[in-house]
Structure 1
Amino acid sequence: MKITRRGFIRGAAAAGAIGATGFPHIWNKNLSLARAADGEIKVGVLFSLTGTTAIIEESLNKATILAIEEINAAGGINGMKIVPVIEDPASDPATFAEKARKLVLSDRCVSVFGSYTSASRKAVLPVFEKRENLYFYPTLYEGRECSKNVVYTGAVPNQQQDEFVPWLVEKFGKKWYLIGSNYIYPKEENNYCKKLLEGLGAEVVAEEYVPLGHSEFSSVVNKFQSLQPNVIFSTVVGDSVVALHRQYRAAGLDPAKMPMASLTTSENEVAAMGGEAAAGHFTSAPYFMVWDSPENRKFVDAYKARWGQDKVTHFVSEPSYFQVYLFKQAVAKLAPSDITPPNIREAIKGESMIAPQGKVQIERENLHTWLWPKIGQCKSDGQFEILKQSATWLKPEPYKAYPNMHCTEAGLTES
């Protein structure tokens, strides 16, 4: 049976009310261990359905629910059903933290799938570290984090930039303009980008940050026109991506001469802005909707059948989908009485599967994921043409910008 978003939210609210009066659940009374009860495994789903990043996070929610429904339809995990508790943190880091506490303490979820921005991940991190719970984070991010309580399934800087930046310098030139949203992810990605550019003899003519949700880019576009960079390197996120692209196009700028090269512009943002506004620009990501594989065709067909033929998949919805299957594989190794966040964490180390992008694997040392970097150019139909794929999957190196620091199973070390 398919469940609507509204039905899920009503169900989650009802479950919370029943739980307070004795409904069987995963956690035991002292909250230190978890167990499967009455054939159910309760998980949290924490993506924004409203606010500035809902443009992307709603699709992460949909991909997560699709995977849960598929697993349950196939018999669940050793016969146990996954029960999702959905919360809307409304694109606000403080609300993310509040909802995370609810999912861990009140709803007693054994793990939580959530977040798009690093600001929201940082906001919930203390909750999961203090309570020894487990957070599955599907988004490309800046690295420089080493937590035993997060499974990171999105790309880190070396998996998006190591091939992308040299390729762009060779194709377009060495004069770069860096534009990003004003929080940790764009600043750390740009820090890594600048290290690569320095090694290539390139220069940064401007580096600028705008608030989350920013929509007025006329002054930025004027600087593009006056400085004439060869490449505009964009780490703008959410609704702002749409505004930036539309105003770039309205100003008559030419992506053939001054392309925007993004780590954050996916098919989802392109669908919102229209293909003409995105055509000619570039994105680096491990996954594009057009990727041709049996696993991806199955994913795309299932996503469209579940959520609408006009919907698109992209490089954050894809890990949102496959990380639920990795969770399933880890939990399937455990007896019902052993289903605890620490045990799931140990069980998921080294787990692999054939995801829509190709074979992925959780790195034992740092709980990040081996991925397949690709470079795509957007077309006017809203899809990307894949111009280049790495010859092999790439190891995640979350501290590559800081070579004296290493994330290991024992924790963060410095040399």
Structure 2
Amino acid sequence: MTNESQPSSKGRDEQWRIGVLYSRAGVTSATESEHFFGTVLAIEEINAAGGVAGHLLDPVVYDPKGDADEYRRLATRMLQEDDVTVIFGCSTSSSRKAVLPVIERNNALLWYCSIYEGFEYSPNVIYTGAVPNQNSMQLAAWLLRHVGRRFFLVGADYIYPRESNRIIRDIVEDHGGEIVEEVYLPSDADPASLKTVIDEIESVGPDVVFSTLIGRGARTFYTMYRERGFDPARHPIASLTMTEGEIRMIGPELCGGHIVAASYVNTLDNESNRRYLDAWRTRFGDEPASMWSEMAYNQVHLFARALARAQSLDTARLVEAVHEVEFDSPEGMLRIDPGNNHATLTPRIAICRADGTFDVVWESRGPVKPDPYLTTYGLAEFWLDGERS
């Protein structure tokens, strides 16, 4: 598959046409390229095995280049011109919200694999990424217990960072911690702005920095933080997003000691992950697999199982079917909660090693049901469950 590609007309009526809408350029190109690669791998595996019910998956692929208006325009093009009713795409909440009215108006189905802030439900979206009760809450509890109580929050200025920081602030302050500062920068923050933030971190001396910066700005921030002389073993940056691919881009030697909360890191020791990594390396060489690629891969396989059951790309039939299937994914058994269309996932906390891989230091005793509206907000159950350190 290539950008701006459409399948040939031969055999189209005998194939399952789907849309793929991830940015290969722009601020979020690193993470969305990983979404794209995971999607490619799953489609190729499914088609190599004969497709679904004897018909191949037939992808229509566009690159919105990180622009919200392009996401909306290209989604509209897929649905109205390309005869697509199922789209795998979007990474940020801004892009998802740009596309959502188009999806709902056309009664299509969006598969959204990124972590996000929750507080949303649509019958036209399957949300396969973690929501705050599957990552933020556990991270806050672990940091309060093992790192310290003084938090510095820095994020990109859009929906997900602001909502994530609101949740972190509530949890930290409700459990005896303190937010010493909360700062927002443009999504593609420049080095001068980042230097100002690092100056402030040095001035106030927090125990931990919680970062929801994204893209190039986030990578530059990690580099400048270490160059300033901060020791991650004593003053780590904690994140929900900084995983193996971007760690390699920054330089693993600069990232050892930093912390991530994620349902997947590629050092998980199970048979499904070993199969996935073998397939990944065969297809993409030494490009590291991460949460971004793994969840994109998972949702295509979950879709294929739902499609085999529904025998139709009709949205209502597919959604009903996806509630009845599961996928033995690299991170564990993946299911969609029929009450809210979100995934049941296993929260994990991991610390980056100097070689760019992660050691899992905490994981929940089992999968956690999604609670996108945070109807329960306690943390006591997370303090000791599954702790490894």
- Shorter-chain TM range is over 0.9
Is 2:8 aligned against 1:57? no
Q: Which residue of 1 aligns with 2:385?
A: none
Q: Which one-letter code corresponds to 1:367 in the other structure?
A: N
SS for the counterpart of 1:148 is coil
What is the aligned partner in structure 1 of residue 307 from structure 2?
A: 331
Q: Distance in 2 between matches of 1:240 and 1:110?
A: 35
Matched residue type, 2:304: K
- Counterpart position of 1:376: 350
1:23-47: CA deviation from partner (whole Å, max 9, x where unpaired): 775xxxxxxxxxxx32x00000100
1:274 and 1:233 map into 2 onto residues whose CA distance is: 20
1:343 maps onto 2:317 in alignment: yes
State yes or no: 1:123 paired with 2:127. no
Q: Which letter does structure 1 place at the counterpart of 2:252?
A: G
Match in the other structure for 2:157: 182
1:252 aligns with 2:220: no
* Pairs within 5 Å for 1:64-75: 64-75=39-50
Matched with 1:298 is 275
What does residue 33 of structure 1 align with?
Answer: none
1:355, distance to aligned residue in structure 2 (A) = 0.6
1:375–1:388 Cα contact (<8 Å) kept:
yes
What percent of counterpart residues are identical?
37
Provide the residue aligned with 1:363 in structure 2.
Answer: 337
Structure-1 residue corresponding to 2:382: none
Shift of 1:185: 0.3
Unaligned runs of at least 5 residues, structure 1? 26-36, 404-415
Q: Given residue 150 of structure 1, which amino acid in structure 2 is its aligned partner?
A: V
Give the alignment partner of residue 242 of structure 2, picking from 243, 265, 288: 265
Residue 209 of structure 2 contacts residue 236 of structure 2 at CA under 8 Å; is this kept in 1? yes
Counterparts of 2:134 and 2:20, CA distance in 1: 26
Classify the secondary structure of the residue corresponding to 1:75. coil
Does structure 2 retain, via aligned residues, the 8 Å contact 1:41–1:110? no
Do the aligned partners of 1:114 and 1:136 also contact (CA within 8 Å) in 2?
Answer: yes
Query: Is 1:204 paired with 2:183?
Result: no
Corresponding letter in the other structure for 1:318: E
1:215–1:244 contact (8 Å) kept in structure 2: no
CA, structure 1 residues 207+401, in 2 after alignment: closer, same or farther (shift >3 Å)? farther
Deviation, structure 1 residue 339: 2.9
Q: Which residue of 2 aligns with 1:239?
A: 216
The equivalent of 1:319 in structure 2 is 295
Provide Cα deviations, 1:147-194, integer angstroms capped at 9, x if missing partner: 111100000011002222111111121111011111000111111111
Q: Is the 8 A contact 2:3 2:63 kept in 1?
A: no
Where 1:139 maps in the other structure, the secondary structure is coil
- In structure 2, distance between residues paired with 1:183 and 1:402: 25
Structure 1 residues 364 and 44, CA gap change in structure 2 (3 angstroms): same
2:138 paired with 1:163: yes
- Give 1:342 shift: 2.0
Task: Give the corresponding residue for 2:362.
Answer: 388
Tell me which residue corresponds to 1:289. Answer: 266
Superposed displacement of residue 11, structure 1: 4.6
Post-superposition offset of 1:333: 1.1
Given that 1:350 and 1:363 are in contact with CA atoms closer than 8 Å, whether structure 2 keeps it comes out as no
Aligned to 1:219: 196
Q: What do residues 301-322 of structure 1 show as CA deviations (whole Å, max 9, x unaligned)? A: 11111122x2111112111001
Is 1:99 paired with 2:82? no
- State the partner residue of 2:384: none
- Does residue 109 of the first structure (1) align with residue 81 of the second (2)? no
- TM-score with structure 1 length normalisation? 0.88
Equivalences, count = 375
Partners of 2:343 and 2:370 within 8 A in 1: yes
CA distance in 2, matches of 1:384, 1:53: 22
2: CA distance, partners of 1:380 / 1:330: 40
Do 2:5 and 2:62's aligned partners in 1 also have CA atoms closer than 8 Å?
A: no
> For residue 265 of structure 1, what is the amino acid of its counterpart?
M
CA root-mean-square deviation:
1.5
Name the structure 1 match of 2:114: 139
Separation in 1, partners of 2:267, 2:376: 34
Which residue identity does 1:240 align to in structure 2? G
The letter of the residue matching 2:122 is S
Cα deviation for residue 215 of structure 1 reads 3.1
Runs of 4+ deviating beyond 3 Å? 8-11
AA matched with 1:90:
K
Offset of 1:402 from its aligned partner?
Answer: 8.6
Larger mean CA deviation between 262-271 and 349-358 belongs to 349-358
